[in-house]
Amino acid sequence: MSLKGIDISHHNKWQFDRKMIDLSIHDFVIMKATEGRTYVDPMWEKYMEIVDRLNKPYGLYHYARPENNPDPIVEANNFCNTIGKCGENAMLVLDWECTALRHNINWALKWLQEVESVFGHKPLIYTSSWYTKKLAPILENGNGLWVAHYTHKNKPTVHTYPFWSMWQYTSDPYDKDIFNGNLAQWNRYIEH
């Protein structure tokens, strides 16, 4: 059994305002909370209020900007301080894509370890299928994988990992995801 959900950010506000996105029909919702050293997504709290009212499983993610900041702890602090108590029951995620892929994976590992030390459970790392071959240090640390692979016909190759925790299979008309398990398994990822 798997759960089906979406991930959203302020970029989806127009779809949300036009009722193109209905959070109630999804099994879970993952929301962008922060990016880089100081950026806070202006929609995360609004989405969080709705998800909380619907009593949905949820996740929160941080978009990494190692090209602007050599210290991952600064970015981890931005994330942790922004989400506060919401992080205690959230699937936590580091979004490692675009320019971040040119940086040392140890930056990501330090971010993941810092966030785990604050909230008591291991965040996932989100990245492209092709990049998963570089994730041995992340796997050794015990962090799960959320993989982007845009074809619903072929399941993603995850190289280093024995399996994926979540799979983002399309961005049309917005990002859609599958969680590799049921609600009880989801809850194991957020246990303290």
Average pLDDT, the chain: 95
Please enumerate in sequence order all residues whose Cβ is within 8 A of that of 171, keeping only pairs 6 or more positions apart, or say none.
150
- Residue 153, pLDDT above cutoff 80: no
- Beta carbons of 146 and 132 less than 8 angstroms apart: no
CB 98 within 8 A of CB 70: no
Q: What are the tens digits of pLDDT across the range 47-105?
A: 999 999 999 999 999 999 999 989 999 999 999 999 999 999 999 999 999 999 999 99
Kindly state the percentage of the chain with pLDDT values over 70: 99
pTM of the prediction? Answer: 0.96
- Span 115-121, average pLDDT: 98
Helix (H, G, I), strand (E, B) or coil at 188: helix
pLDDT number for residue 41: 98
pLDDT on residue 192: 74
Confidence grade of residue 118 (pLDDT, cut at 50, 70, 90): very high
pLDDT of residue 152: 63
Can you give the pLDDT at residue 151? Answer: 75
| DSSP letter assigned to residue 161 | S
User: Which fold is adopted by the domain 3-189?
Assistant: TIM Barrel (3.20.20)
On whether the CB atoms of residues 148 and 166 are closer than 8 A, the answer is: no
Per-residue pLDDT, 166: 97
pLDDT digits (tens, 9 = 90+) for 155-165: 898 999 999 99
Question: pLDDT digits over 12-44, tens only?
Answer: 999 999 999 999 999 999 999 999 999 999 999
